[in-house]
Amino acid sequence: MSGAPSLGLMKAKLKGAETGHSLLKRKSEALTKTSAEITRRIDEAKRKMGRVMQIAAFSLAEVSYAVGGDIGYQVQESAKSARFRIRTKQDNVSGVLLPAFESYLTGGNNDFGLTGLGKGGQQVQRCRETYARAVEALVELASLQTAFVILDDVIKVVNRRGLPSRREPLIPLC
């Protein structure tokens, strides 16, 4: 094959290669930007989690002191079903579906409402609220880390197609 039809075919292939290259490059840049944002948010979430867990541990120590012993067994025995549930959804980032977790409380079941009734009731309630914030921080961190792992794998696959090493698209041969 030679002549005008062959030239037109080659021009179409070149145009397709250039378009594909620019699309992959834009996708890679968008995913890298999102990855940097998630990394920043993971750092913030880890710092927040450290503070919240420290406060929660101190709150539990206050309860143990106020009640006069360990209430862990009492809480385990009185808990019937999980108060915290996890809802999942998917966010679409440049054609990549990233999972996002969200915690929510179920109906007003108060499984250990009588815990600390004799003494230390306020400390028990504060400890409960503190640990609720700790669980929310952990769910947020788990959501971000899961999204980061998936996004990192996708970035590696997209970049493996030749974006960083080749500034120009591959020009097709005959």
Quote the Cα angle for 84-49-154, to 5°: 85
Assigned domain for 78 exists: yes
pLDDT score of 5: 78
pLDDT at 114: 53
* pLDDT at 108 (0 to 100): 61
Domain holding 9, by residue range, is 4-160
Amino acid type, 39: T
**For the chain, which ranges sit under pLDDT 50?**
164
Kindly report the backbone phi and psi dihedral angles of residue 89, in degrees, each rounded to the nearest multiple of 5, phi listed first: -140, 170
Q: Does residue 73 belong to any structural domain of this protein?
A: yes
- The pLDDT value recorded for residue 124 is 83
Distance, C-alpha 157 to centroid of its chain: 20
The reply to whether the predicted model has a pTM over 0.85 is: no
Q: Residue 38's domain is classified under what CATH number?
A: 1.10.287.3240
The partner residues of 98 in beta bridges, in order of sequence, read: 91
Spatial separation of the C-alpha atoms in residues 104 and 136, rounded to whole Å: 9
The answer as to whether 174 is a domain residue is: no
Structure confidence at residue 90 (pLDDT): 93
